[in-house]
């Protein structure tokens, strides 16, 4: 319809009657929005229409030009020529006196002014010459507009936005920030909201100028209005830097205590992030995190616990201090799960430091062994504790068995009770610990030694070591590790048995005698015949790799592991891989590890293919993939061409 009527509308644009023309112009705006190709029809009349005196037509024309410039860079270049004309129009508007028709409270035609300013913004963006032409005018508008009423403020706001977005002079930018600062002090909430939003946009480019208004911004945090406090929170978080981090964190923490629940998560993660980037001392950092956890523990992100444990682990001199503070915090309140998890871990690791003597940095705290054990048992039994927390507490109890000097009967009792717990993960841990007490008591001290500092984002092996201590969600990592290397690790433990500080990694969750089963296996674990890996498919970030294993005891068997990795930005879902081989082969497809390949190199999907090739015929393999990626369904069928000869000879 637009295409058919475009020429008609163009004719109407040039008709004498203003009533029809103003409507025709806005119709043209809509047509261009719907069908951008019609721009070249409506481009020529614009220049003529700009000479109009009628405000309605002028307004429509400005909107039309704005629309044209936004859609095509060629139009943008074309219309840069009219900047002087626009400047002239705006100047006349600003300098003319009061006109009954168009003025609102002392500002002549604010709608038209705002629209012109918006167009100037688009034309002046990244263009020195146009920006220079506008400088004087913008200064004039900024200083002359009456700001007692909303209309004036609206024009002023648009002027500030234009100054910020174009290449304006430095003095002008300072003027803009000052205007925003004045807005911030205004009593009208709307104006303050608008000021906070613009300052947020400016904070990247003119950081120091915005810093000057920091106290006012912090004031706005205390507003009861939710939209305002949200904006103020975002702006305050953006304004934190190394010099004001202590004061700002203080303010933000008091805000955290009183803020509405939907802002809590953002505030907590913001504080933690700021603390991480600008912490002046480690002790301050630990204190801050502790305070955040006690006030808003349930709203922090999942990796806060891991970060804190790593931080504490790294700060050797603060072990005693942190374990004491965590113990007192835990003694008061065991409902905040992240806090409980960190405290349990700390108490487990540094329990001896907790019990021995005093530490200069906190008040002397006399803690008895029974109190510590009682607290951990309380955590274990509390209905508020998540399964992950219980896991932490149980492990901590075990570690204390080597750290404490008393006898371990109480601990052994608790551990054996949990051997019949309903939760499988807890049960598995308890049974393993039980076995550790009974059969491998001599190894217990070595296994439960203090953990070495784990590198953040370390190798797969270290993550496997840490998985016993870390949250249950990391158990998935261990399961993807190929069984062969796990066997080798365990055998190393057996051979060296000299404080490798490596707790036995959990395998199949069969209760009872798991350890014994593993340790009884023969030493000769067959090294798989090494065949080079093959990348067979790549499309838009999704890669498919094949890795081959020829087990020596069954020469006719070939095990292929198909791994799908996704390095693009979007997830791949409903991923199905099917394979076909010639008739002489037997193919068995095992179930894949999943059907979603997460983006950015997340956990790959693996699938095992077993091919039985009794006749040693040349292997041919055809793969069919179906998946959803970037909003499209993809089906790919291809033959794997360059299979190495070792796969079938």
Partner 1 sequence: MQFMLLFSRQGKLRLQKWYVPLSDKEKKKITRELVQTVLARKPKMCSFLEWRDLKIVYKRYASLYFCCAIEDQDNELITLEIIHRYVELLDKYFGSVCELDIIFNFEKAYFILDEFLLGGEVQETSKKNVLKAIEQADLLQEVKKVIFKNKSFVT
Interface residues with partner 1 (CB under 8 A) are 19, 22-23, 26-27, 29-30, 55-56, 59-60, 63, 100-102, 104, 109-112, 114-115, 118, 150-151, 153-154, 157-158, 161, 189-194, 224-228
Any idea which residue has 């003319």 for tokens?
A: 96
- Token pair listed for 308: 């804190």
Nearer to partner 1, 49 or 436 (CB): 49
For the CB of residue 228, give the shortest distance to partner 1 in the complex, in Å: 6
Nearer to partner 1, 104 or 500 (CB): 104
Nearer to partner 1, 5 or 417 (CB): 5
For the CB of residue 6, give the shortest distance to partner 1 in the complex, in Å: 16
Closest residue by Cα to residue 186 from 160, 158, 161, 149: 149
Nearer to partner 1, 22 or 324 (CB): 22
For the CB of residue 194, give the shortest distance to partner 1 in the complex, in Å: 6
For the CB of residue 3, give the shortest distance to partner 1 in the complex, in Å: 18
For the CB of residue 224, give the shortest distance to partner 1 in the complex, in Å: 8
For the CB of residue 163, give the shortest distance to partner 1 in the complex, in Å: 14
**β-bridge pairing 605-612 and 542-550:** unpaired
Nearer to partner 1, 20 or 576 (CB): 20
For the CB of residue 54, give the shortest distance to partner 1 in the complex, in Å: 9
Query: What does the angle CA 189 – CA 190 – CA 195 come to, to the nearest 5 degrees?
Result: 95
Closest residue by Cα to residue 259 from 247, 276, 271: 271
* Burial degree of 167 (CB within 10 A; 0-12, 13-18, 19+): middle
- Token pair listed for 529: 């015949």
The backbone torsions φ and ψ at residue 553, rounded to the nearest 5 degrees and listed phi first, read -75, -20
Using the CB atoms, write b or e for 366-403: b if 16+ within 10 Å: ebebeebbebbbebbeeeebeebbbbbbbbbbbbbbbb
For the CB of residue 128, give the shortest distance to partner 1 in the complex, in Å: 23
Nearer to partner 1, 158 or 251 (CB): 158
Any idea which residue has 């480690």 for tokens?
A: 282
Nearer to partner 1, 151 or 256 (CB): 151
Nearer to partner 1, 29 or 184 (CB): 29
Distance CA 61, CA 49 (A): 7
Longest dimension (CA), the chain: 103
For the CB of residue 594, give the shortest distance to partner 1 in the complex, in Å: 32
For the CB of residue 189, give the shortest distance to partner 1 in the complex, in Å: 4
Nearer to partner 1, 100 or 641 (CB): 100
* Strands across the sheet containing 632-640: 572-580, 621-629, 632-640
Distance CA 13, CA 27 (A): 10
Nearer to partner 1, 54 or 283 (CB): 54
For the CB of residue 205, give the shortest distance to partner 1 in the complex, in Å: 18
> Got the DSSP string for 438-505?
HT-HHHHHHHTSPPPPPPTT--HHHHHHHHTTS-GGGHHHHHHS-HHHHHHHHHHHHHH-S----PPP
For the CB of residue 568, give the shortest distance to partner 1 in the complex, in Å: 24
Distance CA 327, CA 365 (A): 10
Nearer to partner 1, 182 or 378 (CB): 182
The backbone torsions φ and ψ at residue 23, rounded to the nearest 5 degrees and listed phi first, read -70, -35
Nearer to partner 1, 82 or 112 (CB): 112
The alpha carbon dihedral of 414, 419, 424, 425 has a sign of positive
- Token pair listed for 169: 């002079």
Beta strands in 112-184 (DSSP E): none
3-class SS string, 201-259: HHCCCCHHHHHCCHHHHHHHHCCCCHHHHHHHHHHHHHHCCCCCHHHHHHHHHHHHHHC
How many Cβ atoms from other residues are within 10 Å of residue 287's Cβ?
17
Helix (H), strand (E) counts: the chain: 29, 11
């Amino acid at each position: 319809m637009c295409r058919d009527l475009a020429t008609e509308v163009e004719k109407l644009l040039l008709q004498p009657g203003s009533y029809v023309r103003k409507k025709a112009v806005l119709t043209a705006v809509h047509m261009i929005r719907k069908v951008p190709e019609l721009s070249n029809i409506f481009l020529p009349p614009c220049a003529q229409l700009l000479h109009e005196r009628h405000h309605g037509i002028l307004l429509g024309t400005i909107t039309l030009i704005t629309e044209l410039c936004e859609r095509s860079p060629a139009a943008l270049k074309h219309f840069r020529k009219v900047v002087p004309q626009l400047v002239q129009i705006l100047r006349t508007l600003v300098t003319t006196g009061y006109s009954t028709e168009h003025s609102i409270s002392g500002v002549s035609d604010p709608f038209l002014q705002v629209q012109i300013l918006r167009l100037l913004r688009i034309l002046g963006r990244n263009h020195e010459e146009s920006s220079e032409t506008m400088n004087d005018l913008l200064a004039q508008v900024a200083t002359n507009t009456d700001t007692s009423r909303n209309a004036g403020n609206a024009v002023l706001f648009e002027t500030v936005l234009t100054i910020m977005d174009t290449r304006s002079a430095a003095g002008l930018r300072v003027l803009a920030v000052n205007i925003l600062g004045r807005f911030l002090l205004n009593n009208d909430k709307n104006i303050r909201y608008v000021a906070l939003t613009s300052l947020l946009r400016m904070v990247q480019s003119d950081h120091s100028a915005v810093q000057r208004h920091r106290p006012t911004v912090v004031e706005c945090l205390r507003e009861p209005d939710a939209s305002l406090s949200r904006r103020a929170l975002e702006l305050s978080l953006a304004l934190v830097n190394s010099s004001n981090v202590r004061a700002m964190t203080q303010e933000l923490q008091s805000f955290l205590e009183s803020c509405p629940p939907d802002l809590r998560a953002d505030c907590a993660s913001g504080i933690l992030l700021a603390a991480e980037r600008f912490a002046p001392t480690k002790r301050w950092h630990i204190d801050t995190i502790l305070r955040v956890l006690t006030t808003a523990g349930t709203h922090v992100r999942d990796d806060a616990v891991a970060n804190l444990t790593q931080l504490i682990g790294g700060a050797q001199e603060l072990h005693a201090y942190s374990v004491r503070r965590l113990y007192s915090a835990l003694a008061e309140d065991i409902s905040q799960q992240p806090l409980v998890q960190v405290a349990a871990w700390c108490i487990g690791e540094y329990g001896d430091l907790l019990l021995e003597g005093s530490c200069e940095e906190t008040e002397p705290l006399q803690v008895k062994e029974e109190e510590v054990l009682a607290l951990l048992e309380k955590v274990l039994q509390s209905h508020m504790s998540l399964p992950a927390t219980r896991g932490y507490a149980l492990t901590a109890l075990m570690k204390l068995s080597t750290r404490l000097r008393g006898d371990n009967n109480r601990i052994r009792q608790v551990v054996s009770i949990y051997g019949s717990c309903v939760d499988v993960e807890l049960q598995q841990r308890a049974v393993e610990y039980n076995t550790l007490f009974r059969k491998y008591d001599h190894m217990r001290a070595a296994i439960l030694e203090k953990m070495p500092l784990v590198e953040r984002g370390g190798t797969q092996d270290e993550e496997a070591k840490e998985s016993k201590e870390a949250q249950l969600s990391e158990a998935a990592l261990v399961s993807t590790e190929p069984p062969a290397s796990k066997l080798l690790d365990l055998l190393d433990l057996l051979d060296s048995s000299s404080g490798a500080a490596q707790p036995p990694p959990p395998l199949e969750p069969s209760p009872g005698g798991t350890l014994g089963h593993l340790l009884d296996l023969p030493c000769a674990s067959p090294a798989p015949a090494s065949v080079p890996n093959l990348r067979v498919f790549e499309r838009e970030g999704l890669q498919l790799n094949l890795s081959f294993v020829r087990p020596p005891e069954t020469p006719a068997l070939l095990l292929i592991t198909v791994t799908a990795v996704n390095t693009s930005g979007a997830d791949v879902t409903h991923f199905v891989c099917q394979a076909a081989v010639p008739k002489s082969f037997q193919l068995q497809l095992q179930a894949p590890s999943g059907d979603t390949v997460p983006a950015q190199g997340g956990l790959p999907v693996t699938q095992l293919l077993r091919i039985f090739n009794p006749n040693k015929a040349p292997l041919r393999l055809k793969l069919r993939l179906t998946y959803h990626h970037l909003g499209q369904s993809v089906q790919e069928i291809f033959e794997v061409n360059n299979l190495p000869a070792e796969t079938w000879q």
